[in-house]
Amino acid sequence: MAKHTVTYIPGDGIGPEVSAAARRCIEATGVDIKFEEVNAGSDTLEKTGTLLPDSVLDSIRKNKVAIKGPITTPVGSGFRSVNVALRRAHDLYACVRPCKSYAGVRSRYNDIDLVIVRENTEDLYAGIEFEINKPATAELIGTIKNLSKSTIRDDSGISIKPISVFGTRRIVKFAFEYALAHNRRKVTAVHKANIMKFTDGLFLQVAREVAKEYEGKVEFEDRIVDNMCMQLVQKPELYDVLVLPNLYGDILSDLCAGLVGGLGVAPGANIGDGIALFEATHGSAPKYKGKNKVNPSAMILSGVLMLEYLKETKAARILEQATAEVFKEGKAVTYDFKEDRDDPTAVGTSEMADAIIAKVKKLK
């Protein structure tokens, strides 16, 4: 029996190409992993009639670790998103996105080393929404009129923003524990507590309480989200681990990915208690499907995060170093690394993975 069994979900769009590249790179490290393949998304819908078969949920539940390619969210199907459903089904409440500069990746900055810890289950993303002109919306508008002095225009749609003590406490604790485990010096809580006193204000209050438990071990500070955006662009070196409610976490993840060269190199992990799913930040980029063109690095670096999670530290370091060396040499890299996107020296997805695998073999 293999030391680790991991659920492997190729995804759709560019998913199967970048997932296969990441899988080959992980296998090249020699770690004893069995990949249990199941799939979800539009290709699965065509074959099985469902976007998210139970076999996927069962496999993740059994193996407790999964790596997943991006999956398209069908427009107008009534199904919110396979990605959101997977996170919900397994209560993967922490989305972790390290944003790190690598030599050879074109970017305005060269010394970024930030980690975004985003709450994954609450906030405006909870999916509690009331559509314009529906009876429930009219009832809610009436109730709010009775309960508070504010009025909401009758022609409104409404999205609800719940933030709980429970949800905040566990994400902030997660951020501090992550900081401790990864030798990080500081956690910054990001919010808009000055305006949304009962949601973001609660987030900040609970974050301050949790921070007290880590006094003397990890520093703590807080920033208002708009100021945080400006600070990240002007002096990103001042920050380390950022912990945020869901919506700000979503937005700042992309901002920070932009600081280090974009979506092609932004890995991610969705983590719950004793269960984790690793995936790139980017989506399924359907226009590139089957073209062997896109950058596999975000998936490969997600594989590095998975190896770290599995405590295969040496394999993780080798794979990260091999990837960094290929970036630095700038030869066997995909079009998005090049100044001119039509540069004929750019290689394909699988050729970039081959170059990384060759480096892994040398470093082993």
Interface contacts to ligand NAD, rule CB under 6 A: 18, 70-73, 83, 263-264, 279, 282-285, 287, 294-295, 298, 336
Identify the active-site residue in 54, 226, 273, 343.
226
226 included as an active-site residue: yes
Residue number with the smallest Cβ distance to ligand NAD:
283
Identify the active-site residue in 192, 289, 293, 359.
192
Identify the active-site residue in 250, 289, 335, 359.
250
| Residue 295: CB minimum distance to ligand NAD, A | 3
Specify which residues 96 forms β-bridges with: 117, 269
| Residue 123: CB minimum distance to ligand NAD, A | 17
| Residue 15: CB minimum distance to ligand NAD, A | 7
336 included as an active-site residue: no
Nearer to ligand NAD, 176 or 264 (CB): 264
In this structure, are residues 213 and 170 in contact, taking their beta carbons and an 8 Å threshold? no
178 included as an active-site residue: no
250 included as an active-site residue: yes
| Residue 268: CB minimum distance to ligand NAD, A | 8
| Residue 19: CB minimum distance to ligand NAD, A | 11
Rounded to the nearest 10 degrees, what angle do helices 297-309 and 349-363 cross at? 40
| Residue 74: CB minimum distance to ligand NAD, A | 7
Catalytic residues: 125, 192, 226, 250
